[in-house]
Amino acid sequence: MAQPLFRAPVGTRDILAPASSRRRRLVDVFADLAGRSGFGLLESPIFEELGVFQRLGADNDVVTKELFEFFDKGEPPRHLALRPELTASVCRAFAEHRPTVPWKIWYSGPQFRYERPQAGRYRQFDQVGVETLGTDDPHADVEVVGLGVRFYEELGMKQVRLLINSLGDADSRPVYDAALAAYLQRRRDELSEQSRVTLERNPLRVLDSKREQDRPVIAEAPVMADFLSGASADHFQAVTAGLDSLGAAYEVSPRLVRGLDYYTRTTFEFVADALDTAQNAVGGGGRYDGLVEELGGPATPGIGFALGVDRILLACDAEGAFSDEPSPVDVFVVDVAGGTSAVMLCDRLRRAGLGVDRAFDGRSMKAQMKRADRSGAAVAVIVGPDEKAAGEATVRDMRPGGGQRQVPEPGVVAAVTEMLAGAVS
């Protein structure tokens, strides 16, 4: 093949129409839902000072191995990184601006992680998300989680499961961590080699292992639920009770720990059962009560989630939800009389608010009609030498069995509008 000189970098890709408009519609659905729920849009930089992300956890792959880092031309150079996620940026923005609480924001946009691509995983990927900062009211948890549930519903997805757990607070978590570490150490020999390494770095993460060998050990591991402080247990209870009142189905998943280290108390994940790939988590989030403080702000509780746009779309494909919308083109203008009429008619029809397209290069009538057909337009406006001479245009119904009529040029918009309003399949 003729070798292109360049191609999209590994793990990135061009998204062409109509897939691109479908993505945009998905974000629109989310934006609408978040907006109606009192969340305002936060637009934050695509890159931040490296330190912002390093607060996510020193032994986390996302910040240790997967960061796109670079230096700018400052003197001295600033150490920057493309954002691997957005919660840290949100907390940084909160610490910087000190908005009145509760601060409820939503976001969408690309994020970057230097990983090997695979199904549902890209180096540049898109997420939508919400965050509520400044309150640890369990009802805020319910609002956030419930928003996620309703979003999938609005997309028409049916095979999404909500997994939820509590990781405990600053009082209970260390006790559990110690108990878990002790337990895992005791059965260390039964663990996979990988998990033994993980055990040294972060015992909690061992629970995340997908390796068959680790299953028995994980199955019998102590669960956080037994170590929750009274306050944490009450909080979790209130959250699940709230979800019950929403009629939102969920599964308490004692071993759900999630990847980022900053999570406390409520953690949750949305799993798409329609996806038979390894990457079947279409969203996840939780509470991060210490993160703002980590970033130099006032002690501020927070909760939020991020949903993976790419994976959601994959899951939608798998279960046949949120399909492509029909063509945005209502009318196609065919001009075989020099083309000047098309220039004018397209403009006039577009100004009337209609979706209008046309052909170029003075193609034959047959060719232009074919284009009109492919465009999905319900109506074609045809101008040939006869119409041109008479100062008229033919308005043709492209739908099966549709007829056509010739109208004076000034009446084209009205005739088209009328035809579009008429019997539609």
Distance of closest approach, residue 364 Cβ to RNA, in angstroms: 4
For RNA, the closer of residues 229 and 279 by Cβ is 279
For RNA, the closer of residues 187 and 399 by Cβ is 399
Q: Which amino acid is at 140?
A: A
For RNA, the closer of residues 111 and 240 by Cβ is 111
For RNA, the closer of residues 99 and 250 by Cβ is 250
For RNA, the closer of residues 97 and 405 by Cβ is 405
Distance of closest approach, residue 306 Cβ to RNA, in angstroms: 5
Distance of closest approach, residue 66 Cβ to RNA, in angstroms: 6
Alpha carbons within 13 A on the beta-carbon side of 73: 0
For RNA, the closer of residues 281 and 354 by Cβ is 281
Task: Tell me whether the omega of the peptide bond preceding residue 326 falls within 30 degrees of 0, making it cis.
Answer: no
- Rounded to 5 degrees, φ, ψ at 192 are -70, 160
Distance of closest approach, residue 403 Cβ to RNA, in angstroms: 9
Distance of closest approach, residue 257 Cβ to RNA, in angstroms: 8
Distance of closest approach, residue 248 Cβ to RNA, in angstroms: 18
For RNA, the closer of residues 169 and 269 by Cβ is 269
**Helices 193-201 and 173-186 sit at what angle, rounded to 10 degrees?**
150
For RNA, the closer of residues 95 and 128 by Cβ is 128
Of 6, 35, 15, the residue nearest 110 (C-alpha): 15
For RNA, the closer of residues 139 and 405 by Cβ is 405
Distance of closest approach, residue 181 Cβ to RNA, in angstroms: 15
Residue with tokens 């989310």: 30
For RNA, the closer of residues 259 and 355 by Cβ is 259
Six token digits for residue 399: 């739908």
Distance of closest approach, residue 211 Cβ to RNA, in angstroms: 5
Distance of closest approach, residue 155 Cβ to RNA, in angstroms: 14
Which H, E and C letters describe the chain, residue by residue? CCCCCCCCCCCCCCCCCCHHHHHHHHHHHHHHHHHHCCCEECCCCCEEEHHHHHCCCCCCHHHHCCCCEEECCCCCCCEEEECCCCHHHHHHHHHHHCCCCCEEEEEEEEEECCCCCECCECCEEEEEEEEEECCCCHHHHHHHHHHHHHHHHHCCCCCEEEEEEECCCCCCHHHHHHHHHHHHHHCHHHCCHHHHHHHHHCHHHHCCCCCHHHHHHHHCCCCHHHHCCHHHHHHHHHHHHHHHHHCCCCEECCCCCCCCCCCEEEEEEEEECCCCCCCCEEEEEEECCCHHHHCCCCCCCEEEEEEEHHHHHHHHHHHCCCCCCCCCCCEEEEECCCCHHHHHHHHHHHHCCCCEEECCCCCCHHHHHHHHHHHCCCEEEEECHHHHHHCEEEEEECCCCCCEEEEEHHHHHHHHHHHHHCCCC
| Interatomic CA distance for residues 117 and 12, integer angstroms | 9
Distance of closest approach, residue 271 Cβ to RNA, in angstroms: 9
For RNA, the closer of residues 72 and 324 by Cβ is 324
| Interatomic CA distance for residues 73 and 137, integer angstroms | 44
Residue with tokens 């939780």: 286
Distance of closest approach, residue 367 Cβ to RNA, in angstroms: 4
